[in-house]
Chain A
Amino acid sequence: MKKLLSKEIRLAASPLSWIFLAATLMTLLPGYPILMGAFFVCFGVFHSFQNAREANDTLYTVLLPVKKTDCVSAKYVFTCFIQLIGFALMAVLTALRMTVLASAAPYVGNALMNATPLFLAFVLLIYAAFNGIFITGFFKTGYKIGMPFLRFGIATLLLVFAGEALHFFPGLAFFNTPGGERLGLQLGILAIAALIYAAGTLLSCRVAQKRFIRVDL
C-alpha cells in the first residue's frame, strides 16, 4: 500500500490537493461557515480524481502487479491521507481558538459556528460523506465524477446547515461557546464521529471495490 500511496502522490495527485489544505485556515474566520473548510479539503482531493482520470491512471494502475481492487484502496488511502492532514491542521487551529483566542471579541460575538470539538465532529462527517458518496459513486464507472460530486455537495450543504443551526435550538447554545463547554459530551460526540468516519470509510471502500471489479475498462 505504501507503493500505491507513493504512486498516487508522485503521479496522480493534483497540486490543488495540497493547495486546498490551506482552506483549513478558514477555521480561524469569524462570521463564516467554517465547516466549508472541510468541503474545500475534499474539493482538493476531487481535483486529484479529475487529474487521474485525464491521465488514464486507472488503466496504468490495473496493469501494475496489484489486484484490480487495489486501485480503489489506493484512492482511499490517498484521500484519507489528505483528509487526516486537513483534520490535524483544523484540530490545532480549533485548540488555538478554544484557548489563546477564546476571549477574542470576534469569536465571543460570533453568530455562526465556533471552532469546538463538535465542529471537528462535523468535519469528520463531511469527510465520511465524501468517501461514501463521491468515491463509491466514482467507482461505479471508473470515470464519471460530476454526479457523485454533486451528490456529495448536497450532503455537505445539509451537514453545514445542521452544524450551523444546532446551537440555535433551545438548550444547545453551549455547543457554540468559544472556550468550549461540556467538553466531555463534545469529545464523546467527536469520538462517535471518528467511529462513523472510520467504519463508513472502510465500508464504502468495500462497496467501491465490489463495484469496480465489474467495471470494464
Chain B
Amino acid sequence: MNVLEVRELCKKYPKFTLSDVSFSVREGSIMGFIGRNGAGKTTTLKSILGIVHPDAGEIRYFGREFAGHEREVKQQIGFAGGAVDYYKRKPIRKLLDVTKTFYDNWDDDACRRYMDLFSLDAEKTPGELSEGMRVKLNLTLALSHGARLLLLDEPTSGLDPVSREELLDTFRFLRDQGIAILFSTHITSDLEKCADDITYIAKGKLIASEPMAAFLSRCKETGCGNTLDEIMVHFEKESLYEKAAE
C-alpha cells in the first residue's frame, strides 16, 4: 500500500520551476530523496505539506486527498525540516506540553525514550542547543505521536557521525515497525545504508523514482557511476568553462 502518492506536482517561482514531479512512498519503506542544492527537494516537501501552495498536482496520503483531510492526515505524519526553528526561547518542556495536546496518539513514553536517546534536556530552550541537537529535538517531536509516515528534510545535516549512525539505526527500526520514511539529503552515503527506494530530482524535474537496487544497477550498466555520489556528479557536473561561455 502507498502511504503517499504525489502526481504531477508543479510550483512556479520567478527563477525556479518545479515541474510534474510524481512519486509514491510504500508503507514500511525508506525512500531517499536526492538532488543537489536548489534542485527543489525542500519545495517538494513543503508543497506536499501545504506549507508552500502548489500550482498544480495531486497529493494523496493513505489513499485520501490531502486537501480535504488535512487535520486527519497530519495526525498520522511527522515532519522535521532540519533544526527546530521556532520558539527558541521557550523551554522544551513547555513546547512539548503544548504540542502533545494536538495529537490523539501522543506517546509520552516514546517521547521520553527519544529525549534520552538524543540526550535532550527538557529544561533547556531550543536556542540553547546546537544545530545538531535542534535536529534531534525536531525528530523527537516527529516520532512521539505514532506517525505512520515521516517526512524529513535533511535530517542528518549537522549531526556528528555517531548521532547519524544512531539515527539511521532508528530509521531502520521504525521501518521494521511498518513506518514509512521519506527523507531528503545530499549526504548520499546515508541512503546507501538504509534506503529501499530512491527519488532523484534535478533542476525541478524528476530524473528517477524507483527501487534503489534497480536504480544503481541501471546506472552501473549505462556507465553513469557505481554510487549515488558518482551518479549525481555524472548527471549534474557542469564545466565552469562551459558555463562561462554561455
Contact = CB atoms under 8 A, between A and B. Distances in A.
> Interface SS of chain A: helix, strand, loop or mixed?
helix
B51 A67 contact: no
Interface in B50-96: 50-53, 70-72, 74-75, 79, 85-90, 94-95
Interface centre among A59, A60, A65, A67 (most CB of B within 10 A): A65
Interface in A53-103: 55-57, 59-60, 62-68
Nearest to A217: B51
A4 to B, nearest CB: 9
Nearest to A66: B71
B235 interface: no
A66 B70 CA distance: 7
Contacts of B75: 65
A10 B51 contact: no
B86 A55 contact: yes
B53 A215 contact: yes
A64 B90 CA distance: 17
Contacts, number: 64
Nearest to A215: B53
A10 B98 contact: yes
Contacts of A216: 46, 51-53
A3 interface: yes
Interface residues of B, number: 26
A9 to B, nearest CB: 10
Nearest to B71: A65
B71 A6 contact: no
Contact of B86 (A6, A60, A68, A215): A60
Interface stretch (B99-107, B116-124, B206-214, B238-246): B99-107
Contacts of A215: 53
B50 A62 contact: yes
Given A55-B88, A67-B71, A6 B98 contact: yes
Nearest to B72: A65
A64 B86 contact: no
Contacts of A214: 53
Interface residues of A, number: 22
B12 to A, nearest CB: 11
Contacts of A6: 98, 101
Contact of B51 (A55, A56, A59): A59
A150 to B, nearest CB: 27
Contacts of A3: 101-102
B90 A68 contact: no
A195 B246 CA distance: 64
Interface string A101-139: 000000000000000000000000000000000000000
Contact of B87 (A11, A62, A213): A11
A63 B90 CA distance: 18
Contacts of A67: 70-71
B85 A56 contact: yes
Given A11-B98, A65-B103, A66-B74, A55 B53 contact: no
Contacts of B89: 55
A7 interface: yes
Contacts of A63: 49, 51, 74, 79
A55 B90 contact: yes
Nearest to B80: A63
Interface in A171-214: 213-214
Interface in A152-183: none
